[in-house]
Chain A
Amino acid sequence: MAGQVAPNILIVEDEFLIRDALTEFLEEEGYRVVGAANGQEALNMLRKGLVPDLILLDLMMPVMSGMQFLDEQQADSRLASIPVVLLSADRNSQEKVLSSAPVEYLEKPVRLTDLLDTVERYCQ
Chain B
Amino acid sequence: MTSEDIVNILLVDDRTENLLALESILGDLGHRLVMAHSGVEALKFLLQQEFAVILLDVQMPGLDGFETAELIRGRERSQHTPIIFLTALDRSDARVFKGYSVGAVDFLFKPFMPDILRSKVAVFVDLFRKTQTVQRQAEELEQRVRERTAELTLTNEALYAEIAERKRAEGALQFLAEASRMLSNSLDYETTLQSVAQLSVPILADWCAVDILQEDGSIRELVAHINPQKVEAIRSTRFRYPPSEDVAHGVPHVLSSGKAELHAEIDDELLRMIARDQGHLRLLREQNFRSYMCVPLQAHGRILGTVTFITSESGRRYGATDLRLAEDLARRAAIAVDNARLYRESQEAILARDEFLSIASHELKTPLTSLQLQVQTLLRSVYKGGQSKLSLERIVTKLELADQQTERLAGLINELLDVARIRSGQIDMRIEEINLSEVVQTVAVRFEEQLAQVGSQLHLACEEHTPVCGDRLRLEQVVTNLLSNAIKYGSGNPIAISIRQTGESVQMFVRDEGIGIAQEHLERIFVRFERAVSSDNYGGLGLGLYIVHQIVEALGGTIRVSSELGRGSTFTVSLPRPSVDGTLRIDASSADAALGLDALVRSKSETEA
Contact = CB atoms under 8 A, between A and B. Distances in A.
B370 A28 contact: no
Interface in B525-568: 535-538
Given A17-B401, A60-B536, A111 B362 contact: no
Given A15-B370, A21-B370, A62-B537, A91 B377 contact: no
Interface in A10-36: 15, 17-18, 21-22, 24-25, 28
A92 B358 contact: yes
B446 interface: no
A68 to B, nearest CB: 9
Interface string A95-124: 000000000000011111000000000000
B373 interface: yes
Given A17-B401, A61-B536, A63-B537, A89 B369 contact: yes
Contacts of A22: 373
A88 B405 CA distance: 18
A8 interface: no
Interface residues of A, number: 24
B201 interface: no
B370 A92 contact: no
Contacts of B405: 17
Contact of B372 (A88, A90, A91, A109): A109
Contact of A18 (B359, B370, B380): B370
Classify the secondary structure of B's interface with A.
Answer: helix
B162 interface: no
A91 B373 contact: no
Contacts of B401: 17
B140 to A, nearest CB: 97
A93 B535 CA distance: 13
A37 B140 CA distance: 114
Nearest to A110: B369
A117 to B, nearest CB: 14
A92 B374 CA distance: 26
Interface in B338-393: 354, 357-359, 361-362, 364-366, 368-374, 376-377, 380, 389
Interface of B: 354, 357-359, 361-362, 364-366, 368-374, 376-377, 380, 389, 401, 405, 535-538
17 contacts: A15-B366, A15-B370, A17-B405, A18-B369, A60-B359, A63-B537, A65-B536, A89-B364, A89-B365, A90-B358, A90-B365, A92-B354, A92-B357, A93-B358, A108-B368, A109-B369, A110-B372
